[in-house]
Structure 1
Amino acid sequence: MFVSVVALTQVPLVSAHEATATGGITPGHGIALALVGVVVLVGSAVFKRTNHFRPTLALYGVFVGISLTALGTILFEGLSPDPTYTARSMPFPRSWYQPLALSVGTAIAVGSLLAGRIRWPNRPRYALAGLLLGLWIAYPYLVPGSASDTHPLGYAIVLVTPILVGYVLWIDAGDAIRTALRDRVARRFGIGTAVVLLLFFFGVTGYLSFFPEDGAPHEITVAVLPTIYQLVSWPTLEIAIPHIPLFLAVSPGQLLILGTLSGLIGLNGALIARQWRAEARAGLTEGTAGSAAVVGTCTCGCCGPLVAKIAGLVAGPAIAAPLYWVFVDPMSPLSALFVVGSQLLFAGSIIYAVQSTQDLDLSVTVRPSD
């Protein structure tokens, strides 16, 4: 997919000043490509459901649709101008962030403990996951000032999150995941989806770019700089090769968080792929939940800047500005909800999919007595 990005940026130049740097490609091309991807993705799922496509062919179509949608979105995000917002556009004073962070974080933590006690008394790991989400939101104000950038508690929160998610999946879905990954087609679909989504997340967040930037140095640059990413500071390797053009910034924090998120989406995809193939072998017809799940597992709300940019394009800055200040501004306590909430959401989706798969396996393996 990203070979295509490089190829697109090398299209012969045109005369318009705005388009010379990108070979005539505009944000509209990205939107069109993303829409084509959505049509291919949804169409493949619908054709599978109506038995016009075999499951394997439908999965290939879904993967192509995911790739085209990701590529189009990256083109749109990279070529459209970044919106700028002044303090005057804030929906409320920044001084509200501290009480908002502490109140929301405490409410999520306490609510998770109560829900775990009442709904899942034998699964304390669920309550612990909610408690961790509350810590993500409240942490910047539990350790105020620049000390929070390098505090051990911040690193512990970030490192424990994927460990806890992995533990929950190991306990509640480990057998089903291993069974799904033994299916070669499901395994390939899951791995491919995870890789595409990982590159997608790097692209839309600006850490991977194939577009030239005005004022950038004209020589190859390699540097390691401290960068704050998700609560704390990480050593970040930055590589700029203007002749391709290529910019890459990668840190342990990015690989940990984005890798976990992409892996969860890939596991969702693998489980659904196996379910599709199991339904075909059993001669069953897929319900509407199966197609919706494919689209849902390949859609993530963690890309706050992209959401704000699309809102600005569709509804104007009056609508986009509040979204930016509430969900994208690094100082906002709710910005963590995009990343951590998505991880917990996809982990829960996997557990739900496992339960559905187990029900299907029972219907396939259990035979009525003669």
Structure 2
Amino acid sequence: MLAALLYGKEDLRLEQVADPTPAAGEVVIRVKAATTCGTDLKVWRRGGHAKMLKPPTPFGHEAAGEIVALGAGVKDWHLGDREAFQIGTRVVANNSAPCMTCFFCQKHEYSLCQNLLFNNGTFAEYLKIPAAIVQHNLLPIPADLPYNLASMTEPLACVLHGAARSHVKPGDRVVILGDGAIGLMFVAALSSGKGDWTSTPHPALPHPFTEVFLFGGNDSRLQIGEKLGAAKTFNYKQVEDVPALVKDLTDGWGADVVIEATGVPSVWEMAIACARPGATVNLFGGCPRDTTITVNTDQLHYSELTLKGVFHNTPEYVRAALRLLASQAVPFELLLSGEQPLSNLAQVFEEMRDRKVIKVAILPD
């Protein structure tokens, strides 16, 4: 089969590799759509990822498709809230699964799992799904949900996890820094007020009267942010002092919640500067390895700021993300800049680097 492999910084190659075969507990899916992601872009530009992969490696981590092969035992598993998988079942696979037994899993802190298993290689004709993901994070897709939208389950699950950890309350004014796919998903999640994301009520669920201010550097993306529910959008290139503007927007206080969605250390510092006393600052965008930021200790202490790093997702939010996508109550299709064949993958990443596209659905040739 044809598959994309990452060899280093901006070194992405399409190669013929052996078709995967499933071992016990595994399945193989035929990829119907694999969406590109800002994380993929950062990995492509940096040549690796501290947690998920080291080159040379199969590349891509968002995909939906149909099952074409089942490993031994899969039909006999009890899958909890899911029906047994069969050949032809339309599915979406999260790119990870927790072990469910380590110190953190026992505390239900699944994104911190010591043995978190990652699976890459969605930019290919076929994708093998490891047994742990089959058990915990492989979900059937509703018949009326297109593969392109279903493929966005993983990043949306990360966003819902991050939004819940931000503890947004009724009437809060939220600043989001970054107009990439993740920042725009945060806008949609926090502005929509579409109700319960998870199977149980959660005090951090958003409310339709949450006021979201989006800052980014691309006018067309900011327009999408408005369509997704942002109360106001601002091109930071035209703003002399972002924290000062945020204070003007919030009666001189600063934002109740700030979400950083760029992965740039200087923007982490800007996020802290935008916060009011008592605010929560969600430092969501992953920065390059070994980078640091400076924090004013007086502000942190006397303003009682909560600075929070949030990483990845959990099985609860994977299910919640698929439900939200399946409801089609939020126009997440606005984030898709079209479809491209696998053979055009390198060009797509160049266009992402140049901010010409947001997310692209890659279809095997």
Quick check: which one's strand share is greater?
2
TM-score normalised to structure 1 length: 0.21
Quick check: which one's helix share is greater?
1
TM-score normalised to structure 2 length: 0.22
